[in-house]
Amino acid sequence: MQRVVLISGASRGIGLASAVRLARGGWAVVGLSRSTDGDAALREAGALPLSADVTDVTSMQRAFQTIAAQHGRLDAVIANAGAGLVGCFEDLDDAQIRALFEVNVFGVLALTRLALPALRASQGRVVVISSVAGRLAAPSSSAYAASKFAVEGWAEALRHELAPFRVPVVLIEPGATRTDFFRARARGTRVGTGAYASLSARLLALQDAQSTKGVDPDVVARSIERALVDPAPPLRVPTGAGTRAQLLARRLLPWRVYEGLLRLALRLPEP
């Protein structure tokens, strides 16, 4: 029987790369997105694009009804849809931060809640696209990191809750990835006009440089594919050599040494 996977944020970047890879690998793929930009590529790969917004429960309910009607089962959900927000905390307003959490936190929770009855029935799995920022926070990422830290804590607890039903929960933790998402984050950095002006300008330049580097989204898609078939997947899957190196440094180095190296790498002024 063909396995069925639902992917949110499937119109571009990691979501599109994963949808194409899995469809070509024999999965029945349903790709959710607000945009139709990736529909042609999804259809060409054999995936089914559906219009849905993770902040709109009604649109997601319609998508799940379509899946039930066409496939009668669901074997995996990949919570990939996300938003970015870059800027020093004091320069950000509450509306921006709340909008970020609606997508990165509450959207992930709502999508997963809708999927769980079918996943318990199929003993499927939940894959959540987090970020290295869910474990390591850097200046100008306070709001984004907060949203990812929240998702990481939720996913860890959910993994324990679903263990009796044999439904693994896996966090994929990419670092910088060559996608429009990361370029948009760089362009969206708010350059402060007051106390943070100099720091924000420096961080914006670094964000611009970083957005052209990083791993190809298909590297992340391969990690997702492995997480779907691994008989005993780990909770966390750091993706990319740079990400693994950062996490290793944070784990092994004393805090003051790590903090000093981070300041040096980001060219931050000494306190």
Handedness of CA 159, 160, 165, 166 (dihedral sign): positive
Known active-site residue 144:
yes
- Identify the helix (H) or strand (E) that includes residue 149: helix 142-162
Give dist(CA 113, CA 126) in Å, integer.
10
Residue keyed to tokens 């060559």: 178
Catalytic site residue from 27, 64, 101, 144: 144
Contacts 24+ apart (CB under 8 A), 218-221: 218/17, 218/21, 219/177, 220/14, 220/17, 220/18, 220/129, 220/172, 220/174, 220/177, 221/14, 221/17, 221/18, 221/20, 221/21, 221/22
Instruction: Give catalytic residue positions.
Output: 144
